[in-house]
A and B are shown apart, each in its own frame.
Chain A
């Protein structure tokens, strides 16, 4: 952030655009940035325009990452390292993030009732418990709904990962469903017509399909089909877009890739950065494998450094490009893990207390909010519900978190689930 201010002091806005545009390999980006820079230049409170949401699936242990309990039996084999923030330590595998702790706001007192992965992830993503009668929208869909698209052609919401359990757009318009990218190294596949097929012939095929399909579409007009109808349009528009190269991480130099690491989360973060540069509003990166019922310390040795490297590189890159002032980075997980180490040297599910992290736009760097008890078992101070946490995210994005939105069934919902924003972690 400091670097960005420096730029603004010494360069004209036009020069800034040019510089950043060059840095992003010519991918169309200006609309996204102009918004943010204008806000910053006017001296208004910086709100996030883009969101990168890193979802640690399987429930990341709080004791071995952001909320260690040094000296306690519960800590097991995980040692701790000091951070830039006085008095705050992290688990040893988060070395780089420890050095960036002044950019992070760590919330150590999240607490839920839900110890099942699917339900827990659903709650984190939507702010509402999973129930039978309604599908709630994920936060990213809310964000796009409220803030609109940035890039005209690119999807506004991208999910790097599997996405089978993702709530998607819920009851909002199907066009707000995230576009999944299964493998960051492959990007968005099948976006080119086969060589033999001319554009004219492609259009011809589409028209033919449309015509043959009209009776069926009419008979079953409704949400299920609409979702597909809408996506056919999106897919066609996407196929013609020059901005598609945003999805190609092969355009990054090997040394850049190396800084992020050759892990799922590393490549996912790199892709997320490129997409933010090109005007994708919201990106979620899934990173599974945290369900460490066995050998938690061995597993942490593998997973922890991958996360550390990836997230640190992401924050540094965003900052260097002046994008951290307009991008909110969230590190989330569905619940914590038991302080007690089980007979398989693992930790089991523990929704009682866990940690999540915010960084970037709208966030007070260096903040540490809430506290778990001496064993890391339940919140000792300032408990934070999932709704509080998500409302804080909404506040950082400048979204109307107190406003009631109505689902098609007439029930009222709020972005963030109607919690209270944590002002101590907001800039």
Chain B
């Protein structure tokens, strides 16, 4: 493992003037600090102004912000070779279809694209200028490697999975997700192989703070059939949901098959209370006996839980405690275990192949359960089958998913609707990518590394019309608007010197506040109530949000990375306006245009945060000579220098504005409101 600072040291927030806009009132004098850039800015400004931004985001991080698994730089030749093979396959297609690749990206376009792709944000002024000045031949590969082991990559990848896995702090009122969210983040940082990661989620047992991977199964708590539907959709790119109620109208799935698959996981229990420890390899008889023993052994704790629960209900009814107490107790009674169980067909089953209410034997959709998993319980068999190397659809689905993330369009679209009559636009390439996922042993970060190293990826974006009858030939990546999170994080790094001032709580910290053993001797209603009250202070959603607002908020916006903000965010939040998912439906995020987005960019607080002294871009402009201002602003926001014509025009604009400061403000605002800023070229 290596550790990383977020980015090159940045000027500490400082006393600077350049009231870009004359909107700032005078207040207390801030502490001056030593950064040379900031000092220059202060000197040029010639007078001191209050810092309005929250102090926490102005202080650069003093140590590493996150541990991230290191990239193996010695593998660069293999990566280049794998990338070359993909380029060759694409070039073959181009030739067949008489098209050619789009113009290769210049360094400015590349640095912006690669930061957005891997770090989830635009590069800072310093990052851009350092890259442009670098003359080494391998600088692109070096930057790719550096970004892949940055905390920014973890944050960006977290957002990607949060959209797919529907991650939010409280998916149900009594499901506390913080440990799971932290676990997802740490799994990404440790770069765990995808197949192992998924397998763990599908088979995890216990309470969420003992085993945070249980969160995956808890996301659909109380909904065993939708759970199967969602799991197959996410990991196998296949929609069998319709077959829950009737034979699939457009596909070959029958309701019977749906139930056969659901029979694997229908034995999953989510509540503690007398259930024996799960042991694999028990026979049915042994299991029955174990359950009987356990019920006797646990008679006392069952009684105690009942007593506490009843007392809590009385208190709530008497309005002496709030409803949250019930959820707190429920959360502490939630523990996943796999039990033998029967799944019955619905009572209104309407097909001839079986009777209503008949018990269903588990059966996989295709292929076989791996031999070494046959002795496992049903859920274990299901997970082994789903994540097996022999189940190519598992590898194919993730290959297509990551391909779409990088190239903008899947080889199969929609990516969760693989069907015979919905073939891949380039089957040869898709199978090649599937092989690559397998060759890399499900190292998805390495897979991304290959894709962004292709010469095709490093070409200008091309327009993609999803309604066009002719397939997309990937003569370059498809033109994309920034995701809501990319846009937010880009703006945050234009403002905050430390966008990592806050990170979501760790699993361990959360456990400390949330865990209470209701079965332990001596646990009474009073101890539970006390624990609940202190839990609410720390992690009650409202209290939690208020605290963030107080420490990191500026005009109602909490200036930290999107990945660390509690979700789902309120509808009016900048991130939601730009299409962040409500985390209720799988991949619910969107990038369509709306009027409120534009109003927000025009007039919203977030745009104006960066015009405030102490913001990164403000300090950057002020630490340079006035004649450099135009170049600095272009580099900081659009990652390239202005054309001679634009430079002349923008300079004149600054000079002819009411004040030069207002001119600078106008230019920053104008660049943020270009289409070029919100799209990736």
**Interfacial residues, chain A to chain B (CB-CB below 8 A):** 113-118, 132-135, 155, 161-165, 168, 171, 174, 177, 179-183, 186, 188-197, 201, 204-206, 208-209, 211-213, 216-217, 219-220, 222-225, 227-229, 231-232, 234-235, 238-239, 288, 293-294, 340, 344, 346, 348-352, 377, 407-409
Contacts and interface: CB of A to CB of B under 8 A. Distances in A.
Q: Which of B417, B588, B599, B667 has the most CB of A within 10 A?
A: B599
B525 interface: no
Q: Which of B413, B577, B596 has the most CB of A within 10 A?
A: B596
B599 A191 contact: yes
Contacts of B23: 194-196
Q: Which of A177, A183, A216, A288 has the most CB of B within 10 A?
A: A216
A408 B590 CA distance: 22
A220 B571 contact: no
B628 interface: no
B481 A224 contact: yes
Given A164-B582, A213-B674, A216-B674, A228 B646 contact: no
B670 A208 contact: yes
A225 B675 contact: yes
B594 interface: yes
Interface string B214-249: 000000001101100000000000010110111001
Given A161-B571, A293-B223, A228 B596 contact: no
Interface stretch (B291-299, B395-403, B459-467, B543-551): B459-467
Nearest to B667: A208
A196 to B, nearest CB: 4
B604 interface: yes
Nearest to A343: B222
A223 B465 contact: yes
Contact of B650 (A177, A208, A239): A208
Given A162-B582, A177-B594, A213-B675, A205 B417 contact: no
A408 B417 CA distance: 25
B134 interface: no
Contact of A116 (B22, B223, B242, B608): B242
Contacts of A216: 674-676, 679, 681
Contact of B245 (A180, A186, A351, A408): A351
B512 interface: no
Contacts of B671: 209, 212
15 contacts: A132-B422, A163-B594, A179-B594, A193-B602, A204-B657, A213-B674, A216-B679, A217-B675, A220-B681, A232-B598, A239-B599, A293-B226, A348-B244, A349-B244, A409-B468
B571 A231 contact: no
Q: Which of A115, A164, A192, A197 has the most CB of B within 10 A?
A: A164
- In order of increasing CB-CB distance, the 10 nearest A-B pairs are A182-B571, A208-B670, A209-B670, A216-B676, A190-B599, A213-B674, A190-B603, A182-B572, A235-B598, A227-B593
A191 B600 CA distance: 8
B599 A235 contact: yes
A212 B646 contact: yes
A134 B413 CA distance: 12
A194 B601 CA distance: 12
Contacts of A179: 594-596
B653 interface: yes
A182 B570 CA distance: 8
A191 B603 contact: yes
B675 A229 contact: yes
Contacts of A164: 579, 581-582, 588-590
B348 interface: yes
Given A135-B466, A196-B23, A189 B599 contact: yes
Contacts of B465: 222-223
B105 interface: no
B592 A168 contact: yes
B593 to A, nearest CB: 4
Contact of A228 (B581, B590, B667, B675): B675
A106 to B, nearest CB: 24
A187 to B, nearest CB: 10
A182 B577 CA distance: 8
Nearest to B638: A212
Contact of B414 (A132, A197, A409): A132
Interface in B39-56: none
Main secondary structure of the interface of B (DSSP, over half): loop
Given A224-B679, A234-B598, 20 more contacts: A182-B570, A183-B571, A186-B572, A188-B599, A191-B603, A194-B603, A201-B666, A204-B657, A208-B653, A212-B642, A216-B679, A220-B461, A220-B479, A220-B679, A222-B465, A225-B679, A227-B593, A231-B594, A344-B222, A352-B245
Nearest to B589: A164
A206 B22 CA distance: 20
Contacts of B655: none
Nearest to B469: A409
B662 interface: yes
Contact of A205 (B604, B670, B675): B670
B123 to A, nearest CB: 18
A191 B601 CA distance: 11
Nearest to A180: B594
Nearest to A209: B670
B101 interface: no
Contacts of B417: 132
Interface in B230-270: 239, 241-242, 244-246, 249
Contact of A133 (B467, B570, B590, B670): B467
A407 B222 CA distance: 43
Contacts of A191: 599, 603
Q: Which of A188, A235, A352 has the most CB of B within 10 A?
A: A235
B241 A194 contact: no
B364 interface: no
A201 B646 contact: no
Contacts of A352: 245
B646 A220 contact: no
B70 interface: no
A173 B416 CA distance: 28
A183 B570 contact: yes
Contacts of B461: 220
A175 to B, nearest CB: 10
B360 interface: no
Interface in B439-483: 461, 463, 465-469, 479, 481
Interface string B634-678: 000000001000100110010001100010001101110111101
Contact of B662 (A117, A201, A228, A349): A201
A194 B24 CA distance: 12
Contacts of B674: 209, 212-213, 216
B356 to A, nearest CB: 11
B585 interface: yes
Contacts of B662: 201
A262 B669 CA distance: 38
A338 B590 CA distance: 31
B599 A340 contact: no
Contacts of B278: none
A132 B419 CA distance: 12
Q: Which of A161, A213, A217, A407 has the most CB of B within 10 A?
A: A213
Contact of A165 (B585, B603, B676): B585
Nearest to A204: B666
Contact of A213 (B576, B604, B676): B676
B284 interface: no
A204 B666 CA distance: 8
A155 B595 CA distance: 9
Contacts of B627: none
Q: Which of B600, B658, B674 has the most CB of A within 10 A?
A: B674
B21 interface: yes
Nearest to A179: B595
Interface string B586-618: 001110111111111011100010000000000
B347 interface: yes
Contact of B244 (A115, A135, A192, A238): A115
A350 B244 CA distance: 10
